[in-house]
């Protein structure tokens, strides 16, 4: 053990373990349960487009070949849809793969990465593993982006500002005014990253076209998206990014693994991206279910952040880990938030209407016991 500790860099041994969701089969075996309601990993309960499933079947016979390193067909489809040159697109093994690659490209030991708190853990972890400092800015009391604090932090010229909108785990999305103020305040030596993993779930009436607002910005930027959430391809691990320049993408591909995206993921993503009707149906249903579940929790006096994603960030009023453990005993998985200052919160994925009802029933069963224990 001592030799291992001496071998590994301190930046690595001091990292927290990523708080991943539990696999349902693991929990079934552990607790002897036949049925699990999995609401801890922000997955799409309705699954991918049938076209994506068929596309995976079609590529199976060619699995002895390496995938298309240039992602030719998918690149062309997304570029045409977004109205950007294909050479400014990058693909990775999930959008978090691209985050890690970009950090390795640009972040040096001792430099600063700025993000919000609570936030997606890898926004901080990928900085810390490189010996950089992660500066975290809390959301306002009414769960708005801390724009004033962000602007002040940008004045100190950090290497990266990374913001998820909708935010994970809070769910709140930036307004046009928020985006414009942040872009205007970003110095040219700061890489501005917008992580839009959940953007497809935003109500169309309030969705901000960040790419359009970046068109006149001359500094470096990246917008990240994924096929894991709304497109239902979490198991295949594929995400993409749009960057400010071709040169940035060329250098990213020098750092990226040569065949980072597998052939099944490429085929499924292309088919899923083309099936706009399936995406619209899924996201519309999730928005409806989100509204129903949020109203039910509010009616029971639970405080929660205003979400535009496929999850709710709920203040349980007690230790969130204890609530999650009690719900787990009922076969319902939610994610307790472990960041200091937010440990009473649980993040609840928006599932089917039936799954939401099962969660509410289980919460009603365990709440009195937890209240008595506290």
CATH value of 50-275 in 1.10.10.10, 2.160.20.60, 3.40.640.10, 2.30.30.60: 3.40.640.10
pLDDT surpasses 90 at 189: yes
User: What is the rounded average pLDDT of the residues 68-88?
Assistant: 97
CATH of the domain spanning 2-47+277-373: 3.90.1150.10
pTM, rounded to two decimals: 0.93
Q: Name the β-bridge partners of 194.
A: 163, 223
Asked if the domains at 2-47+277-373 and 50-275 fall in one CATH topology, the answer is: no
Residue 212, pLDDT above cutoff 70: yes
| pLDDT 10s digits, 219-239 | 999 999 999 999 999 999 999
In a 10 Å sphere around its CB, with 0-12 CB exposed, 13-18 middle and 19+ buried, how is residue 337 labelled? buried
Q: Print the SS3 string covering the chain.
A: CHHHHHHCCHHHHCCCCCCCCCCHHHHHHHHCCCCCEECCCCCCCCCCCHHHHHHHHHHHHHCCCCCCCCCHHHHHHHHHHHCCCHHHEEEECCHHHHHHHHHHHHCCCCCEEEEEECCCHHHHHHHHCCCCEEEEEECCCCCCCCHHHHHHHHCCCCCEEEEECCCCCCCCCCCHHHHHHHHHHCCCCCEEEEECCCHHHCCCCCCCCHHHHHCCCCCCEEEEEECCCCCCCHHHCCEEEEECCHHHHHHHHHHCCCCCCCHHHHHHHHHHHHCHHHHHHHHHHHHHHHHHHHHHHHHCCCEECCCCCCEEEEECCCCHHHHHHHHHHCCEECEECCCCCCCCEEEEECCCHHHHHHHHHHHHHHHHHHHHHC
Tokens 């998918």 correspond to 74
Sign of CA dihedral 223, 195, 312, 279: positive
State the average pLDDT over residues 243-260: 96
**What average pLDDT does range 38-62 have in this prediction?**
97
> Which pLDDT value is given to residue 373?
65
Task: Give the mean model confidence (pLDDT) for residues 92-102.
Answer: 96
The pLDDT of residue 18 is 64
Return the pLDDT at 9.
Answer: 79
Q: Rounded to 5 degrees, what angle do the CA atoms 227, 230, 231 make?
A: 50
Q: What pLDDT sits at residue 371?
A: 74
* Contact yes or no for 334/327 (Cβ under 8 A): yes
Q: What is the residue whose two structure tokens read 């994924």?
A: 226
Structure tokens at 106: 């640009």
- Residue 123, number of CB atoms within 10 A of its CB: 25
Contact (Cβ atoms closer than 8 angstroms) between residue 143 and residue 122: no
What is the residue extent of each domain of the chain?
A: 2-47+277-373, 50-275
Q: Which of these, 183, 204, 200, lies nearest to 192 by C-alpha position?
A: 183
Distance CA(43)–CA(24), nearest Å, equals: 13
Name 225's Cβ contacts closer than 8 Å, sequence gap at least 6. Answer: 95, 196, 197, 199, 239, 240, 241
Contact between residue 194 and residue 221 where contact means Cβ atoms under 8 Å apart? yes
Residues 331-351: what's their mean pLDDT? Answer: 96
User: Rounded mean pLDDT of 252-262?
Assistant: 95
CB 205 within 8 A of CB 349: no
Instruction: Supply the mean pLDDT for the chain.
Output: 94
């Amino acid at each position: 053990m001592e030799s291992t500790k001496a071998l590994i860099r301190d930046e690595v041994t001091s990292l927290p373990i990523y708080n991943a969701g539990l696999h349902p089969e693991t929990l079934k075996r552990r607790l002897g349960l036949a049925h699990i309601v999995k609401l801890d990993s922000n997955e799409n309960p309705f699954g991918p487009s049938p076209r994506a499933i068929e596309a995976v079947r079609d590529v199976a016979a060619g699995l002895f070949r390496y995938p298309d390193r240039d992602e030719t067909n998918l690149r062309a489809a997304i570029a045409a849809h977004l109205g950007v040159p294909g050479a400014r697109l990058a693909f990775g093994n999930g959008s978090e793969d691209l985050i890690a690659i970009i950090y390795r490209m640009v972040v040096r030991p001792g430099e600063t990465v700025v993000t919000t708190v609570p936030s997606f853990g890898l926004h901080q972890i990928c900085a810390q593993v490189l010996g950089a400092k992660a500066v975290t800015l809390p959301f306002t009391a009414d769960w708005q982006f801390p724009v004033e604090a962000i602007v002040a932090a940008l004045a100190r010229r950090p290497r990266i500002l990374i913001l998820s909108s909708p935010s994970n785990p809070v769910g709140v999305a930036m307004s046009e005014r928020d985006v414009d103020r942040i872009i205007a305040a970003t110095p040219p030596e700061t890489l501005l990253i917008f992580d839009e993993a959940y953007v497809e779930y935003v109500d169309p009436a309030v969705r901000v076209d960040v790419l359009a607002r970046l068109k006149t910005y001359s500094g470096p930027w990246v917008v990240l998206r994924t096929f894991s959430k709304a497109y239902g391809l979490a198991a295949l691990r594929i995400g993409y990014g749009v960057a400010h320049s071709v040169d940035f993408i060329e250098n990213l591909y020098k750092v990226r693994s040569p065949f980072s995206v597998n052939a099944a993921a490429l085929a499924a993503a292309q088919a899923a991206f083309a099936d706009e009707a399936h995406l619209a149906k899924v996201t519309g249903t999730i928005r409806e279910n989100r509204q129903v579940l949020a109203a039910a929790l509010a009616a029971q006096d639970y405080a929660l952040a205003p979400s535009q994603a496929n999850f709710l960030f709920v203040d349980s009023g007690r230790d969130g880990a204890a609530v999650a453990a009690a719900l787990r005993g009922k076969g319902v998985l939610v994610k307790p938030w472990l960041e200091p200052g937010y440990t009473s919160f649980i993040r609840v994925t928006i599932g089917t209407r039936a799954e939401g009802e099962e969660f509410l029933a289980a919460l009603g069963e365990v709440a009195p016991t937890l209240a008595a224990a506290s």
